[in-house]
């Protein structure tokens, strides 16, 4: 038997090879600094742990409704009300297994085989694979520093074809940490509505913005799909919990998809998440956001000083997408050698698309400041002599 053609089209994550090699080196006794994986190093905050444990002790371990615990959907409504002063009814919220589940539902509910979805390249790689899984064609739109690595209305227009049925943005983006401009999101939303297409905005890093928090895309139109998650800002990656805010018309289809694809998101995680929006928890999250900002503010200038190109300062997330062309012309080989010789693991651009992947690497500043300082001194020694 062979894999399906669909699976053959799905590329592996190169960062997993880096991680495997890093683990092998650690097993040999090497000290490796991990800046490759896109997950915060902080543990899940205590209020969430306590709520989940209490629920499990109470026997709350059965399936929830497919769209999620009604109380959690209400709590997410409260989050939009408190943070964005926006009324999004709980009836428009689906609780999902991570942002990953939300992205699959959004694409699945509105697109058919042969449709095209526009997305930024570089971008989060799973999106193009989600599209392929439902026989939708992902169309990578090359983006660069001139648009802060984000789609603009002009780029969307230029890449539109008669088959385009959706546009997908992530703001802030992975791997660049940059935001799309509010007015661009509004304009792209209008463009999509005019052409009977759908706009999906992935706001998984929206809680981790280091300047003024922009409006959620939900403020621009009630036809936009917004994906969010408890993974990153809430430090709950392994709990597999996220949500999708969708237009009214889509909710019945989303519910049927959820019922059939996974029945419901994990129950203990949903009970834990009920505590995620509490004042006590939000204070913990806020202090961690400030810690991540301090790391960005240390690492970005330090890498620039060494000779990495950082054409745009990231607005959020915990990534720096750095240009290595002063040192090498193959970022894949560069990351491999950096790991072997300096014991620092980072991700090659290859994981994020086909636009100049050989020129870029991604640093995830998911280690404490003293560890980042050690990483910088190792990298400085490693690149000494490689400067052109």
Ligand X SMILES: Cc1ncc(COP(=O)(O)O)c(C=O)c1O
Q: Which residues bind ligand X (CB under 6 A)?
A: 38, 98-100, 124, 170, 174, 202, 204, 229, 231, 237, 242
Which one, 99 or 339, has the nearer CB to ligand X?
99
172: its two tokens: 């802030």
Minimum CB distance to ligand X smaller for 88 or for 119:
119
Distance (Å, whole) CA 267 – CA 251: 21
Chain residue whose CB lies nearest ligand X = 98
Closest to ligand X by CB, 75 or 376: 75
Using the minimum distance from each CB to ligand X, give the nearer residue, 295 or 376: 295
Identify which of residues 38 and 214 has a Cβ nearer to ligand X in the complex. 38
CB of 378 to ligand X, least distance (A): 25
Give the span between the Cα atoms of 244 and 2, in whole angstroms.
Answer: 34
Give the integer Cα–Cα distance in Å for 204 and 141.
21
Residue 349 to residue 339: CA distance in whole angstroms: 15
Number of Cα atoms under 13 Å in the Cβ half of residue 171: 25
- Of 324, 301, 330, 329, the closest CA to residue 314 belongs to 301
Closest distance of CB 229 from ligand X, Å: 3
We find the least distance from the C-beta atom of residue 363 to ligand X, in angstroms, to be 14
In whole angstroms, give the CA distance from residue 328 to residue 332.
10
- Are the beta carbons of 258 and 54 closer than 8 angstroms? no
Specify the residue, 173 or 281, whose C-beta has the smaller distance to ligand X.
173
DSSP character string of 226-238: EEEESSTTTT-GG
Give the residue ranges of DSSP H helices in the chain: 5-8, 14-27, 46-57, 70-84, 98-110, 126-133, 153-159, 182-194, 248-261, 267-273, 279-306, 331-337, 369-383
Q: How far is the CB of 17 from ligand X (least distance, A)?
A: 17
Q: Decide: 149 and 313 in contact? Cβ < 8 Å.
A: no
Please, which residue, 226 or 338, has the CB nearer to ligand X? Answer: 226
Residue closer to ligand X, measured from CB, 38 or 349:
38
Question: Cβ 341 to ligand X, closest distance in Å?
Answer: 28
């Amino acid at each position: 038997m062979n894999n399906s053609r669909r699976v053959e089209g799905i590329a592996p994550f190169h960062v997993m090879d880096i991680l495997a090699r890093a683990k092998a080196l650690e097993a040999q006794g090497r000290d490796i600094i991990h800046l490759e994986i896109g997950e915060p190093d902080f543990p899940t905050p205590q209020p969430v742990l306590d709520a989940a444990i209490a629920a499990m002790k109470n026997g709350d371990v059965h399936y929830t409704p497919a769209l999620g615990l009604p109380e959690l959907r209400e709590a997410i409504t409260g989050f939009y009300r408190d943070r964005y002063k926006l009324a999004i009814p709980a009836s428009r919220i689906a609780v999902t297994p991570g942002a990953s589940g939300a992205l699959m539902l959004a694409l699945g509910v509105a697109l058919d085989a042969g449709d095209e979805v526009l997305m930024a390249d570089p971008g989060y790689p799973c999106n193009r694979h989600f599209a392929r899984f439902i026989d939708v064609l992902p169309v990578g739109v090359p983006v660069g520093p001139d648009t802060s690595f984000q789609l603009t209305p002009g780029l969307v227009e230029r890449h539109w074809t008669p088959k385009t049925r959706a546009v997908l943005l992530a703001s802030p983006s992975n791997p660049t940490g940059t935001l799309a401009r509010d007015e661009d999101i509004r304009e792209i939303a209008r463009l999509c509505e005019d052409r009977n297409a759908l706009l999906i905005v992935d706001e998984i890093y929206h809680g981790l913005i280091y300047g003024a928090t922009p409006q959620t895309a939900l403020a621009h139109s009630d036809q936009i799909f917004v994906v969010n998650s408890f993974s990153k800002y809430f430090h709950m990656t392994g709990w597999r919990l996220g949500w999708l805010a969708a237009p009214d018309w889509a909710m019945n289809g989303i519910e049927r998809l959820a019922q059939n694809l996974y029945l419901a998101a994990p129950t203990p995680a949903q009970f834990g998440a009920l505590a995620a929006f509490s004042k006590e928890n939000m204070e913990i999250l806020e202090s961690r956001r400030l810690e991540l900002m301090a790391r960005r503010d240390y690492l970005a200038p330090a890498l620039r000083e060494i000779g990495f190109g950082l054409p745009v300062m990231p607005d959020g997330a915990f990534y720096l997408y750095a240009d290595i062309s002063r040192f090498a012309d193959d970022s894949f080989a560069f990351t491999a050698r950096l790991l072997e010789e300096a014991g620092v693991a980072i991700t090659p651009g290859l994981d994020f698309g086909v636009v100049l992947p050989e020129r870029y690497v991604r640093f995830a500043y998911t280690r404490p400041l003293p560890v980042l300082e050690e990483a910088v001194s190792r990298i400085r020694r490693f690149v000494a002599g490689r400067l052109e």
